[in-house]
């Protein structure tokens, strides 16, 4: 990793932490809050690429593990990784990786804007939503003791907000590509 890579990883880890300053929205029927930090995961993947995006998320999870209150609501410490939202947190790493991998493979500077927008949106939805849910929902079902189908239905409450976050990540990814093209330099 170059110095530039380290700086970008630290910058996006800081962005994820700052998004944690927004207060979580707790719901009575599901023990996992709605937070803005998943937007940071999508942004890291779309803008930094697979390896650097996943490294930024790993850095945030390391800060959580050592006890810093960097998660939404001021949460931190190892106990967070034993809670009902731990699957989502662990899913952030492969989510950012997949998001970045799709962006690296399918977004090119020579493409039309619409194609770039759609590729960034697909990356954010596949990595930032599908992969994160793939880790989060089964763990949440296990921890809550509810049926997987019931937990999946309850987790759908996150989907509208996550789609908005994916749209924001799409816009940011395209803006960075147009203004400061990091994408070709990611691999």
Q: What is the pLDDT of residue 102?
A: 96
Q: What is the pLDDT of residue 180?
A: 78
Q: What is the pLDDT of residue 170?
A: 96
Residue range 3-12, pLDDT digits in tens? 989 999 999 9
Q: What is the pLDDT of residue 75?
A: 93
Query: 1 pLDDT band (50/70/90 cuts)?
Result: confident
Domains and CATH numbers, the chain: 3-185 (1.10.1760.20)
Element (H, E) at 149: helix 148-155
Side-chain-facing half-sphere of 27: CA atoms under 13 Å: 12
Instruction: Answer whether residue 183 shows pLDDT above 50.
Output: no
Instruction: Answer whether residue 182 shows pLDDT above 60.
Output: no
Residue range 68-116, pLDDT digits in tens? 999 998 999 999 999 999 999 999 999 999 999 999 999 988 889 999 9
Q: Say how far apart CA 57 and CA 137 lie, in whole Å.
A: 19
């Amino acid at each position: 990793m170059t110095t530039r890579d380290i700086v970008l990883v630290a910058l996006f880890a800081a962005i994820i932490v700052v998004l944690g300053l927004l207060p979580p929205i707790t719901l009575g029927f599901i023990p996992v809050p709605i937070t803005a930090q998943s937007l940071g995961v999508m942004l890291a993947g779309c803008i930094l690429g697979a390896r650097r995006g996943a490294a930024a998320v790993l850095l945030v999870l390391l800060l959580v593990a050592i006890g810093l209150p960097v998660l939404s609501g001021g949460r931190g410490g190892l106990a967070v990784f034993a809670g009902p939202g731990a699957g989502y947190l662990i899913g952030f790493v492969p989510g950012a990786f997949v998001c970045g991998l799709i962006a690296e493979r399918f977004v090119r500077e020579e493409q039309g804007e619409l194609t770039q927008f759609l590729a960034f949106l697909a990356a954010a939805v596949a990595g930032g939503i599908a992969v994160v849910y793939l880790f989060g929902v089964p763990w949440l079902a296990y921890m809550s003791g509810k049926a997987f189908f019931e937990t999946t239905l309850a987790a759908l409450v996150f989907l509208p907000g996550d789609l908005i976050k994916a749209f924001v990540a799409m816009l940011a990814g395209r803006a960075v590509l147009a203004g400061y093209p990091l994408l070709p330099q990611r691999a």
